[in-house]
Amino acid sequence: MTESIAVGTDGSAAATAALEWAVDDAVRRGVSLRIVHAMDRWPHDLVEFPTPGRSGQLECFGEQVLTEAAKAAMERRPDVRVTTELIEGTPSDVLGGQAETAVELVVGNRGLGGFAGSLLGSVPVRLAGHVSGAVVVVRQGRAEVYGEVVVGVDGSAECDPALGFAFEQAALRGCGLRVVYAWQMPLHAFSPEAGGDIEEIRRAQRLVAEERLAGWQERFPTVEVVSEVTRARPVPTLLAASARADLLVVGSRGLGAVGSVLLGSVSREVLHHARGPVAVVRSTRSTGRGPRASSG
Ligand SMILES: Nc1ncnc2c1ncn2[C@@H]1O[C@H](COP(=O)(O)OP(=O)(O)O)[C@@H](O)[C@H]1O
Ligand SMILES: [Mg+2]
């Protein structure tokens, strides 16, 4: 099977933005594009009591969405190879399955459902951090090119796949990479016995970040890296950096993740509030109950 990027579409404006992002990335990577529409019977029909003609209508709508998406993809980049898939099932199940055989999965931040002003639909919430590899969530209405990819790291091993993805994206785009490591004073540093030397902690944090970077920089020597190690809250720091970035990359969870949580709080917040595309990258080997599962 040739490598491909999977993109989910329900025909919405955000899904169209996702499609455009996916088309461009397929060309950058030299892989094909698989456009997927899930026919979700459930909200309309109980399988036992189908409304006559409903299934035909859903299929018709799905075919139309896919035809229009394929046309738009080829108009945008005539050199892209496109396939389409019409599959019955709930969108998150169908797309989760498709992600298993894709280089990455791309979806819009919202779709046809949801309510006005909703920032994130159920599909990205269910999939980001839950499926292995990268889930890229794209919003409509962003045309600027900034020439920078931003990645958020927190010194945990969980962010290694995110670093790898971010270096790869920067290399593919021929742009710079900003590595943002926003750290906060650990609570125990304030206890009287810790005698916390802030400069020492600062140096230690910088070292952690540099160690994480070294291996990737070796693999992608052409990528120019700016690393920003700052004592600040991660969410606002990442959101600010992403305002001037073509892509923000985060890991699925980090140091603060508790138990079996698959999407950490920083990644979740960033997904809700970022202005541009966000990639949530989870290790392909991770089971979600990795060695950090009990470390708080
Ligand atoms: N039926 C579907 N088939 C394929 N992809 C879908 C489908 N529904 C949603 N998606 C993908 O998920 C994104 C978010 O949609 P969703 O989570 O359903 O938001 P909303 O609640 O606003 O409808 C869409 O932009 C699209 O990329
Ligand atoms: Mg929907």
Range of the domain at 190: 148-282
- Answer whether residue 292 is part of any domain: no
**Same domain assignment for residues 97 and 18:** yes
- Answer whether residue 265 is part of any domain: yes
Around 221, how many Cα atoms within 13 Å sit in the side-chain half-sphere?
A: 1
Last residue of a domain, one of 138, 167, 201: 138
Ligand 2 midpoint to CA 94 (Å): 13
Q: Give the CATH number for residue 98.
A: 3.40.50.620
- Answer whether residue 61 is part of any domain: yes
Q: What is the pLDDT of residue 190?
A: 56
Pocket test for ligand 1, best of 12, 90, 106, 122 (most atoms within 8 A of CB): 12
**Same domain assignment for residues 120 and 153:** no
Number of domains in the chain: 2
Residue 53 backbone zone (phi > 0: left; psi -120 to 50: alpha; other: beta): left
Q: Can you tell me which residue has the tokens 């496109």? A: 82
- Answer whether residue 155 is part of any domain: yes
**Same domain assignment for residues 155 and 266:** yes
- Answer whether residue 204 is part of any domain: yes
Last residue of a domain, one of 138, 173, 192: 138
Ligand 1 midpoint to CA 37 (Å): 9
Q: Is the CB of 112 under 6 A from ligand 1?
A: yes
**Same domain assignment for residues 182 and 207:** yes
> pLDDT by residue for the chain (296 residues), tens digit each?
689 999 999 999 999 999 999 999 999 999 999 999 999 886 655 555 656 667 788 999 999 999 999 999 999 999 999 999 999 999 999 999 999 999 999 999 999 988 878 889 999 999 998 899 999 999 999 889 999 999 998 877 778 899 999 999 999 999 999 999 887 776 665 555 555 677 787 787 778 778 888 889 999 999 999 988 888 888 999 999 999 999 999 998 766 665 666 788 888 999 999 999 999 999 875 444 333 333 33
Q: Whose CA is nearest to atom 15 of ligand 1?
A: 111
Last residue of a domain, one of 138, 171, 198: 138
Q: Give the CATH number for residue 163.
A: 3.40.50.12370
Q: What is the pLDDT of residue 98?
A: 98
Q: Is the CB of 121 under 6 A from ligand 1?
A: yes
